Amino acid sequence: MGFMQALRARWSAADTLVCVGLDPEPAKFPQTFAADPDAVFAFCRDIADATAEFACAFKPQIAHFAALGAEDALERLIAHLHAAHPGVPVILDAKRGDIGSTAQRYAVEAFGRYRADAVTVNPYLGRDSVQPFLDHADRGVVILCRTSNPGAGDLQDLIVPDDGGGGRPLYQHVAGTIARDWNTHGNCALVVGATWPAQLAEVRAIVGDMPLLVPGVGAQGGDAEAVVRNAKSADGTGLLVSSSRAILYASPGDDYADAAASAARSLRDTLNAAR
């Protein structure tokens, strides 16, 4: 089953719009992991196993593993996610973007080495830089559109010419171009931050029912209810509302897994109540 089919099946079967972000920071791990040489894998596995029933996807963030020299833990973690939670697609958050020949190697890294179902990419090198990912019709290509960070507007809001002789912000041009031209295999999704509810509504109006990955609730302060109100698709799905730190580090104590499950359940319930 391809990424988009798996995601739609999961939305329907589990009735959740929550994406559980896996961003390991050993300094925040509970004391019980202090002497564990495989702490990065073990902590992320425990969180994933505790939160899977509330997850429509998992999103491990590659820099959080690579900075620790823990790529091997990331490989084993994704293998575990596939084996233990086969209905929950895995998005590798790598935000890749490079010339075609290098992008082709990044696609092999994400889909071959790590066996991710989808990967985040940066569109600003243009279509040929994303094409090696798009060519994997069964994998998801999750493309940055209007990011959650405070400086998102520095470049993404610059006005560019539109077809009607007027202008519109660059992020809207990105959304329109991807929906119209790049999504020939139907495997594209867009990233729009939860911190920008108005822009979420603008993007939804442009892209129809294309899935939106929405980070920025929890630690970054985005309003989960506003996300659903402004950006759900016509059938009340269309969203992967991603939270990392607020789930991972919900408790610093031995109850870390239960606390993570409670945080994921609570986010699921908040999102569902607003659908």
Ligand X SMILES: O=C(O)c1cc(=O)[nH]c(=O)n1[C@@H]1O[C@H](COP(=O)(O)O)[C@@H](O)[C@H]1O
CB of 161 to ligand X, least distance (A): 25
Distance CA 70, CA 29 (A): 15
Interface residue with ligand X among 219, 225, 251, 275 (CB under 6 A) is 219
Q: Does 120 bind ligand X (CB under 6 A)?
A: yes
Q: Which is nearer to ligand X, 102 or 220 (CB)?
A: 220
Q: Which is nearer to ligand X, 19 or 206 (CB)?
A: 19
Span from 104-112, 203-211, 215-223, 259-267 in contact with ligand X (CB under 6 A): 215-223
Q: Does 245 bind ligand X (CB under 6 A)?
A: yes
Span from 10-18, 78-86, 166-174, 214-222 in contact with ligand X (CB under 6 A): 214-222
Q: Which is nearer to ligand X, 88 or 164 (CB)?
A: 88
The answer to whether residues 2 and 188 touch, using CB atoms and an 8 Å cutoff, is: no
Q: Which of 148, 131, 128 is nearest to 191 (CA)?
A: 148
Phi-psi region of 163 (alpha: psi -120 to 50; beta: other; left: phi over 0): alpha
Tell which positions 145-164 bind ligand X, by CB under 6 A.
147-148
Q: Which two tokens stand for residue 88?
A: 């929950």
Interface residue with ligand X among 244, 257, 267, 270 (CB under 6 A) is 244
Say whether 232 is catalytic.
no
- The DSSP 8-state label assigned to residue 150 in this structure reads G
Distance CA 33, CA 26 (A): 8
Q: What is the DSSP string of 177-198?
A: HIIIII-TTS-EEEEE-TT-HH
Q: Does 227 bind ligand X (CB under 6 A)?
A: no
Distance CA 113, CA 189 (A): 22
Rg (CA), the chain: 18
CB of 65 to ligand X, least distance (A): 11
Tell which positions 12-31 bind ligand X, by CB under 6 A.
21, 23
Span from 1-9, 128-136, 213-221, 255-263 in contact with ligand X (CB under 6 A): 213-221
Q: Which is nearer to ligand X, 35 or 216 (CB)?
A: 216
Q: Does 193 bind ligand X (CB under 6 A)?
A: yes
Distance CA 267, CA 250 (A): 12
Collapsing DSSP states into helix, strand and coil, what is residue 32?
helix
Q: Does 215 bind ligand X (CB under 6 A)?
A: yes
The answer to whether residues 162 and 210 touch, using CB atoms and an 8 Å cutoff, is: no
Count interface residues toward ligand X (CB under 6 A): 20
Distance CA 39, CA 44 (A): 8
Q: Which of 144, 145, 134 is nearest to 106 (CA)?
A: 134
Interface residue with ligand X among 218, 230, 256, 260 (CB under 6 A) is 218
Interacting residues with ligand X (CB under 6 A): 21, 23, 61, 93, 95, 120, 147-148, 191, 193, 215-216, 218-220, 242-246
**Which residues belong to the active site?**
95
